[in-house]
Amino acid sequence: MPRYILFSFCLIFFFSNNVQAYFSYGTADTSSGYCNLTSFKFGQVKVGEEKYDNSRCELATCTEGHYKIDRCMEIPDFDENRCDVFMEFWNRHLLP
């Protein structure tokens, strides 16, 4: 019986700590060794590195020729003038 109570508690804790999140990604000119992410308010991010913004709950990652920005907020309306791809993740955990 205590095992079932503990299991139920774990399930409640698991589902109460989940957030709605999504990410956007795209191509970037990294010939300078950086991704120019000023339009996302991250400035220059060095290839192979990440930048965090805890106030906006965002993480920017720059790889050779690409960028990725993880967010934990509502998904924006579709804008056909942007080439970013938006995907929604339900029940995603964020690390402190």
| 1 falls within a domain | no
Q: Which two tokens stand for residue 57?
A: 């709950």
Counting the structural domains of the chain, the total is 1
Q: Give the range of the structural domain holding residue 50, as residue numbers without chain letter.
A: 18-72
- 26/86 Cα distance (integer angstroms): 10
| pLDDT for residue 63 | 95
DSSP structural state of residue 54: T
The conformation of residue 33, written as its DSSP 8-state character, comes to S
* 85 inside domain: no
Evaluate whether residue 82 is within a structural domain. Answer: no
Reported pTM:
0.56
Of the given ranges (12-26, 41-55, 62-76), which has the lowest mean pLDDT?
Answer: 12-26
Joined tokens for residue 26: 């795209």
